[in-house]
Structure 1
Amino acid sequence: MTFTLEGVRAGFLTCVPVALGVGGYGIAFGVVARQAGLSVAEATLMSATVVAGAAQLIAVELWADPIPVSAILLTTVVINLRYSLMGAALQPWFDRLSPTQAYGSLFFMADENWALTMSELRSSLLEGRHARGAFLLGSGLAVWVFWVGATIVGATAGGVIGDPDRYGLDFILTAVFVALAVELWEGRSSLVPWIGAFVTAVVANHVLPGRWYILLGGIVAAGLEVMRYDE
């Protein structure tokens, strides 16, 4: 495992096409944040420090006066618990990095660049080369730059843009995730955990309030994957 500027550069350039899609989602967040009463500076600061699209959108949807702090915190924790599973998947590789390198990279981890990083790490094994440990950092920086920049655009020009859904911006991340899923597809062996996650998420979405279906779908998929490898 190496951690070099070349790895940062490779991660950044690889993630730029995906980050463009994240940017479209960032514009939508900027618009919604302004409609909720946040200033351009507040929306930008939120995007720069939180870097979690779904959690930020839910937070601004719950925004009121007075701010329901407990509800926002609980909802954000539930939505972002999936990052514990994503971090666990990276642990075998990141054990070889220093704490500064590992935790500094994890700050910039999002769904999109995590998927790209997992693909990069698996490719390094198949190709018999050193894994680029800085790939997550580089790809995360690409996501961060486009996310924050797009938030500024959306928050500044929100009155001109209007409802972002009419431009299809609400579908951008769905399209991005479909493309990433294709990249992570490993053949028929992937069907069981994928189907398990899908069924669990659909059922949980109908039975439980909030966004628990995200976490539960991930847990079921992880469990099925562990069982598949144990066999």
Structure 2
Amino acid sequence: MSAQYSDFTHYPSFRSEMVRGATACVPVLVGVLPFGLLLGAQAAQKGFSVVSLSLMTGLNFGGGSEFAALALWTSPPHVLTIVLVSLLVNSRHLVMGASLAPYLAHLPARKVMPALFFMCDESWAMSMADAARRRAVGLSPYFSMGYYAGMVSAMWLLWISSTASGVIIGPALGDVTHWGFDMAFPAVFFVLLKGMWKGLRVALPWLVSLVCAAAAYHFVPGAAYVPVGAVSGILAILLTRRKA
């Protein structure tokens, strides 16, 4: 690898790549905003303050597990139960991180670990799609750390600020799902997946994961559908590659 890519923080276009990443994720931010307000409103009902919720959302940064934690929150809280459920819901990050590993292999651990800390579903999907586009045109390195940094910074800051705002104004807004905002988040993610579409054969693991997760959601209590969907998708990938 050439010297100019040895350290992304000194690469001349790092700042412009951060701007590109922050700009690209604006539609995602629009979808995230109502969920942040909703989480904040629910947290206010559980007795969370702006500071305590900001600490939780900033240090965990996993929307699904945060909603699960609030659903289980009591006074006093059952900490072990909440931790285990959060780990279960966030288990999908193991698969997501593994898929990013080939693109991050050339970077030192001091850069990879912070990058993975800020990874979420949307930043993973967008960075994978961007890496695929860069690879298709022969632009090296395939993974743009500047693009990723700008994207996750915008998402992280909006998530903290929107959840904190939800604590303050959420009770006055009421249930934002009545306005249909709850569909914004899934809609944005489906658009991101569309950008990663490469044909029916490649999409087969997605379908297997979806069907298995949906079945687990309806027939198995708790958040078991998360690891069921992840594991079934991985098995489908391994089986289809073996047949190929």
TM-score, normalization by structure 1 = 0.93
User: Which 4+ stretches in 1 moved above 4 angstroms?
Assistant: none
Count of aligned pairs between the two proteins:
231
Counterpart residue number, 2:11 = none
Residue 60 of structure 1 pairs with residue 56 of structure 2: no
Q: Distance in 2 between matches of 1:137 and 1:101?
A: 11
For 1:111, the aligned partner's letter is: D
Counterpart residue number, 1:39 = 49
* Pairing of 1:130-169 with structure 2 (within 5 A): 130=140, 131=142, 132-169=144-181
Instruction: Note closer, same or farther for the CA distance 1:124–1:228 as it changes in structure 2 (3 Å cut).
Output: farther
Please point out which of 60, 66, 79 is paired with 2:89. Answer: 79
Cα deviation, residue 9, structure 1: 2.6
Q: Deviations over 1:136-194 (max 9, x none)?
A: 22211111111111112211112211112212232221112221121121111234212
Counterpart residue number, 1:188 = 200
Counterpart residue number, 2:226 = 214
Cα deviation, residue 118, structure 1: 0.4
Residues 205, 234 of structure 2: 8 Å contact kept: yes
Cα deviation, residue 111, structure 1: 0.2
Cα deviation, residue 209, structure 1: 1.8
Q: Distance in 1 between matches of 2:50 and 2:165?
A: 9
Counterpart residue number, 1:178 = 190
Residues 204, 236 of structure 2: 8 Å contact kept: yes
Runs of 5+ consecutive residues of structure 2 not aligned to the other structure: 9-13
Residues 37, 167 of structure 2: 8 Å contact kept: yes
Residues 104, 137 of structure 1: 8 Å contact kept: no
Residues 97, 133 of structure 1: 8 Å contact kept: no
* Pairing of 1:198-213 with structure 2 (within 5 A): 198-213=210-225
Runs of 5+ consecutive residues of structure 1 not aligned to the other structure: none
Q: Distance in 2 between matches of 1:159 and 1:206?
A: 31
Residues 20, 146 of structure 1: 8 Å contact kept: no
Q: Deviations over 1:113-145 (max 9, x none)?
A: 100000011111111001213332221111111
Q: Deviations over 1:30-66 (max 9, x none)?
A: 1111011111221122112111111111111111111
Sequence identity (%)? 31
Residues 28, 170 of structure 1: 8 Å contact kept: no
Residue 116 of structure 1 pairs with residue 126 of structure 2: yes
Bigger drift between 57-66 and 8-17 goes to 8-17
For 1:134, the aligned partner's letter is: G
Instruction: Note closer, same or farther for the CA distance 1:229–1:133 as it changes in structure 2 (3 Å cut).
Output: farther
Counterpart residue number, 1:25 = 35
Q: Distance in 2 between matches of 1:209 and 1:148?
A: 30
For 1:43, the aligned partner's letter is: L
Cα-Cα RMSD = 1.6
Instruction: Note closer, same or farther for the CA distance 1:122–1:229 as it changes in structure 2 (3 Å cut).
Output: farther
- Match of 1:209, SS state, is coil
Instruction: Note closer, same or farther for the CA distance 1:185–1:29 as it changes in structure 2 (3 Å cut).
Output: same
For 2:107, the aligned partner's letter is: L
Q: Distance in 1 between matches of 2:147 and 2:233?
A: 25
